[in-house]
């Protein structure tokens, strides 16, 4: 096991533990009406985080058995993440179910991160933008992405950004 990855997994677990009850306590209006600068509600941000955890979990697995560089669909670039949000219609997802899925997805990726084979850390994935991203870079960047979206949720909770639909 890689000590850095144990710390990342712990950080994700703690953040999930802290935020799950906060999210469960939000009103239907809070999670649905206010929108961020990307025109996403808290529901949609949470759905995007589920998609991110799921896609990154799959990438972590693929990068440990496929030849480098790997080709794996890039859902996050070229507007595809917005397509995923719309197709799955997170705006109308049952809030309790969505929070449960969000929590389980992040607990699972934390588990998967700790299982990574240290011999595979330099395996590279080519993104849709032409970036070459190593398995190690992808894993170490995941908490930044998680916290970025938590910050967006905090901003919407505070009411400092509210583009109404």
What does the pLDDT look like over 8-58, one tens digit per residue?
999 999 999 999 999 999 999 999 987 887 889 999 999 999 999 999 999
What does the pLDDT look like over 110-140, one tens digit per residue?
999 999 999 999 999 988 888 899 999 999 9
Distance CA 126, CA 48 (A): 21
Residue 50 falls inside a structural domain = yes
Query: What DSSP string runs through 52-86?
Result: HHHHHHHHHHHTTTSPSSB----SSSTTHHHHHHH
Distance CA 5, CA 64 (A): 15
Residue 149 falls inside a structural domain = yes
Find the largest Cα–Cα distance for the chain. 49
The CATH number for 101's domain is 1.20.120.450
Supply the pLDDT for residue 160. Answer: 53
Structural domain of residue 14, as residue ranges? 3-158
Please give the model's pTM, rounded to 2 decimal places.
Answer: 0.91
Residue 75 falls inside a structural domain = yes
Residue 44 falls inside a structural domain = yes
Residue 82 falls inside a structural domain = yes
Number of domains observed in the structure of the chain: 1
Instruction: Say which residue, 83 or 57, is predicted with more confidence.
Output: 57
């Amino acid at each position: 096991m890689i000590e850095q990855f144990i710390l990342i997994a712990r950080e994700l677990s703690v953040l999930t533990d802290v935020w799950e009850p906060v999210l469960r306590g939000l009103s239907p209006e809070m999670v649905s009406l206010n929108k961020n600068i990307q025109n996403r509600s808290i529901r949609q941000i949470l759905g995007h985080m589920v998609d991110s955890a799921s896609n990154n979990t799959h990438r972590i697995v693929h990068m440990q058995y496929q030849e480098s560089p790997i080709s794996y669909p890039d859902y996050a670039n070229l507007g595809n993440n917005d397509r995923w949000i719309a197709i799955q219609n997170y705006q109308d997802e049952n809030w309790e179910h969505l929070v449960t899925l969000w929590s389980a997805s992040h607990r699972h990726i934390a588990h998967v991160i700790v299982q990574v084979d240290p011999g595979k850390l330099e395996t590279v994935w080519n993104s849709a933008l032409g970036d070459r991203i190593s398995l190690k870079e992808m894993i170490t960047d995941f908490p930044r992405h998680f916290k970025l979206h938590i910050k967006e949720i905090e901003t919407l909770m505070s009411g400092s950004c509210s583009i109404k639909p």
